[in-house]
Amino acid sequence: MSILKVARMGHPVLRERARPLEPSEISTPRIQRLIDDMFETMHDSQGIGLAGPQVHESIRLFVAGVDEEDAGMSPVVIINPEITPIGTEVEEDWEGCLSIPDVRGRVPRAVEIRIRALDRHGTPIAMTASGYPARVVQHETDHLDGVLFFDRMTSFDSLTFLEEYSRYWTGKET
């Protein structure tokens, strides 16, 4: 496995709508290796999610989650996702992004969502997610549409560097 280069804000790949993967592509050695490399890159960067465009691959694929029991999200591969909010409840909370290093901001997201997608074997999957996993799935799906987290912010008052977030915002409600 390899650590992939992560595209940073400003690279055009992060602002493009990624193309869907054809079912016949999913099982190819290239895509299977890419999935493994994306997990490796995400873990190396201490992230919770990583989308294809973030590693210069404009395809509708993301990986998310970690193996640790207390992380709140088991590892998952999501291909060609369709996300639907369940209900109208929205919650604003902190987000960061591997493509925008050392920056945090509060982003409103649906609290509960329904996901329809393909898994790493091309098998259709359907599931629901709520709370933190729902936030991660929405964040990564945004990457597939060329959207960055601050595009969703309703106010830039909370936009902060990680060092200041740790110093001034940790535990503070806004």
Host domain of residue 68: 12-169
In a domain, 32, yes or no: yes
For 60-69, write each residue's pLDDT tens digit.
999 999 776 6
In-domain check, residue 5: no
Is 83 domain-assigned? yes
What is the C-alpha to C-alpha distance for residues 79 and 61, in angstroms, rounded to an integer?
Answer: 4
pTM: 0.93
- Over residues 31-55, mean pLDDT: 97
Question: For 20, which DSSP code?
Answer: P
The domain tally of the chain equals 1
DSSP-derived secondary structure letter, 50: E
Q: What percent of the chain has pLDDT over 90?
A: 87
- Looking at residues 29-42, what average pLDDT do you find? 98
Identify the H or E element spanning 48.
Answer: none
CATH code where residue 90 lies: 3.90.45.10
Is the pLDDT at 53 greater than 80? The verdict is yes
pLDDT value for 167: 85
CB 119 within 8 A of CB 125: yes
Q: How far is the C-alpha of 68 from the C-alpha of 79, rounded, in Å? A: 23
Asked if residue 147 is part of any domain, the answer here is: yes
164 is catalytic: no
Q: Which of 140, 163, 164, 173 is catalytic?
A: 140
Q: Tell me the average pLDDT across 104-115.
A: 98
Residue 174: pLDDT band by 50, 70, 90 thresholds? very low
Of the pLDDT bands very low, low, confident and very high (cuts 50, 70, 90), residue 73 is confident
Q: What angle do CA 122, 11, 121 make, to 5 degrees?
A: 5
